[in-house]
């Protein structure tokens, strides 16, 4: 390309012509040129202001805030840079099926800091500080979660994504808690769907074609959660959406909801979307626009299902209660969508973790103890959903699985005002706007905090349900253990999620004989983690009950 001789151009501008180096000329309208100069002059001030604002917010303000916290003894993650924070390291963790909070697991400090885009984040991994934050929730700290820009796009006004002081949070949490409380109906659905899918998968599997546990549990959670919230007839609906390959396909409602939910989570976990959360919702890429279209279709279908509720479903019960309180229909819609997908990936991840530990040959004694307890429950009077919630060995095993690897790893909040965070005589001065996050996975591995409650327990690096058999009530009531959150923001459906997990394990144990785990090629034992951001899976080769010919092996 020819270069321009700008001296010539500017020198001849009054004549209305400019000359290129190679002698070419272009016409310049003198009046247009004279208008351009003032505009450039007037624009220079706002452009410079915007640039300075960006430097202040992205660099200088955060550096000063970081220095403020470092002076208080708060350490920051290694390789934590302006704007991108430690997200380069997080990318490496994700490739190993590890979650963001692995950055903080092996530290000895009470608080750790990092930067992400326009925000500074502090992470708590100490039980006492985590408990103190729970007590300050709703006063000094309140919800500020990146999930609003990922899965929250399906239901943006739902209570998990909103402040406790807005959109009638307390009324809605109360109606949702009551609406999901039909455990008898839930257990009947759990048991029926589990038997159906286990029978189908066992019939179609072999030593050469193991059961894909992730795929099987996806089907089970979709059918169970969908029927519980919306009813069988409503979830039989089919809708046409665009999939990742650009092809439009007609799929069942729950498949579309689960698929879109998972795609939103993984799209938001891309590098720049992690750095600045709102980017995930902007229609800047084909993927974002495709997801936006699919979200609109899902919300339209859910609105129609609300207009035709099936009697006895969560949707019918919650809608009646919310209508009696004069709540906006949009609030009901968003809470019901969230109640539906809350029973999907988190439950699936928990069951996968339980099965993986239970079928480990080193834990065969736990498998037998669980089976004996469940067989004994069948001989006892009373509703099975109640008996499962009070089965000590089953409870301890599920709790230990949730401790060892919680499906979700963070509780996201932010300081709504300046406040003091006190811990054992030390006071941390927290500035308003600082995101302050409970790191559940790191908390569940904090040896010092746990030994204050359970001094004789096994090391936390060891999977051992005995810690909950020996110290169950003390641990569950402490701030050491919070897989469902704590305090006023505790998950309203935690009892139902736990019942789904226990119900599936009961059906699995009592309908299968010995099983062998098959790890897919390329997946290592180290990367076999099953939290909600993991892609890991495993296969199962199982015998029918009464056949005991398979060797117990995870190879």
- Can you read off the two tokens belonging to residue 14? 């009054």
- What residue numbers does the annotated binding site for heme cover? 491
Alpha helices in 411-552 (DSSP H): 440-443, 447-453, 466-477, 494-511
* Segments in 359-515 forming alpha helices (H): 364-379, 384-389, 392-404, 440-443, 447-453, 466-477, 494-511
CA distance 76 to 121: 10
- Annotate 214-245 with DSSP letters as a single string: HHHHHHHHHHHHHHHHH-HHHHT-EEEEE-TT
Cα separation, 186 vs 317, in Å, equals 14
Place of tokens 């019918």: 316
Determine the Cα–Cα distance for residues 98 and 526; give it in Å rounded to an integer.
10
Structural contact between residues 31 and 51, judged by C-beta atoms closer than 8 angstroms: no
Report whether 289 contacts 281 (CB < 8 A).
no
372: left (phi over 0), alpha (psi -120 to 50) or beta: alpha
Which residue, chain included where needed, has tokens 């349900």? 465
Q: Is 360 left (phi over 0), alpha (psi -120 to 50) or beta?
A: beta
Alpha helices in 147-280 (DSSP H): 169-179, 183-203, 213-230, 232-235, 253-268, 271-275
Q: Which two tokens stand for residue 428?
A: 């941390």
The DSSP result for 13-24, as a single string, is: GGGTEEE-TTS-
What is the number of other CB atoms lying within 10 angstroms of the CB of residue 326? 8
In terms of residues, how long is the chain? 555
CA angle in degrees (0–180, nearest 5) for 433-437-439: 165
Torsion of the alpha carbons at 537, 538, 544 and 546, rounded to the nearest 10: -120
Task: Could you list the beta-strand ranges (E) of 72-181.
Answer: 75-76, 111-116, 119-124, 141-143
Q: Which among 147, 213, 153, 133 has a CA at the least distance from the CA of 439?
A: 133
Q: Which two tokens stand for residue 287?
A: 């993927």
Q: CA 175, CA 382: separation in Å to the nearest integer?
A: 27
Cα gap 143→159, rounded to integer Å: 10
Match 């006023």 to its residue by tokens.
488
Annotated binding-site residue numbers: 491
């Amino acid at each position: 390309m020819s270069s321009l001789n700008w001296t010539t151009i500017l020198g001849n501008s009054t004549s209305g012509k400019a000359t290129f180096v190679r002698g070419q000329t272009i016409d310049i309208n003198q009046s247009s040129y004279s208008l351009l100069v003032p505009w450039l002059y007037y624009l220079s001030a706002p452009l410079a202001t915007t640039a300075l604002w960006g430097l202040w917010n992205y660099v200088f303000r955060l550096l000063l805030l970081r220095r403020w916290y470092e002076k208080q003894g708060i350490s920051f993650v290694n390789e934590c840079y302006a704007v991108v924070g430690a997200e380069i390291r997080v990318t490496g963790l994700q490739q190993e099926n590890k979650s963001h909070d692995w950055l903080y697991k092996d530290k000895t400090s009470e608080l750790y800091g990092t930067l992400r885009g326009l925000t500074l984040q502090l992470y708590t991994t100490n039980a006492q500080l985590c408990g103190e934050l729970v007590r300050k929730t709703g006063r000094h700290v309140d919800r500020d979660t990146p999930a609003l820009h990922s899965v929250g796009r399906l239901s943006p006004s739902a209570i998990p994504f909103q402040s406790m002081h807005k959109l009638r949070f307390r009324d809605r949490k109360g109606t949702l808690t009551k609406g999901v409380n039909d455990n008898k109906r839930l257990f009947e659905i759990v048991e029926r769907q589990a038997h159906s899918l286990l029978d189908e998968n066992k019939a179609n599997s072999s030593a050469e074609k193991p059961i894909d546990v992730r795929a099987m549990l996806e089907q089970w959670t979709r059918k169970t959660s969908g029927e519980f919230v919306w009813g069988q007839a409503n979830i039989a609906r089919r809708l046409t959406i665009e999939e990742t390959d650009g092809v439009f396909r007609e799929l069942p409602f729950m498949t579309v909801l689960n698929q879109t939910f998972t795609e939103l989570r993984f799209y938001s976990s891309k590098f720049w979307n992690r750095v600045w959360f709102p980017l995930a919702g902007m229609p800047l890429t084909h993927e974002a626009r495709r997801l936006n279209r699919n979200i609109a279709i899902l919300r339209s279908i859910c609105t129609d299902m609300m207009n035709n509720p099936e009697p006895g479903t969560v949707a019918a019960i919650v809608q009646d209660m919310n209508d009696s309180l004069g709540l906006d229909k949009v609030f009901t819609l968003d809470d019901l969508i969230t109640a539906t997908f809350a029973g999907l990936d988190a439950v699936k991840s928990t069951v996968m973790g339980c099965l993986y530990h239970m079928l480990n040959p080193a834990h065969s004694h736990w498998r037998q103890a669980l089976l004996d307890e469940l067989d004994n429950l069948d001989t006892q009077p009373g509703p099975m959903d109640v008996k499962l919630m009070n089965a000590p060995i089953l409870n301890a095993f599920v709790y230990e699985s949730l401790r060892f690897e919680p499906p979700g790893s963070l509780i996201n909040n932010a300081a709504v005002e300046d406040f003091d965070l006190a811990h054992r005589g030390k006071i941390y001065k927290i500035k308003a706007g600082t995101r302050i996050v409970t790191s559940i996975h790191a908390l569940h591995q904090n040896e010092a905090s746990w030994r204050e409650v359970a001094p004789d327990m096994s090391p936390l690096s060891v999977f051992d349900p005995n810690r909950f058999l020996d110290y169950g009530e003390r641990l569950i009531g402490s701030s050491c253990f919070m897989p469902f959150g704590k305090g006023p923001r505790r998950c309203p459906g935690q009892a139902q999620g736990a019942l789904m997990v226990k119900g599936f394990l009961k059906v699995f144990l009592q309908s299968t004989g010995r099983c062998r785990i098959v790890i897919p090629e390329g997946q290592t034992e180290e990367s076999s983690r099953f939290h909600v951001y993991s892609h890991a899976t495993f296969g199962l080769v199982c015998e029918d009950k009464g056949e005991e010919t398979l060797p117990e092996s995870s190879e």
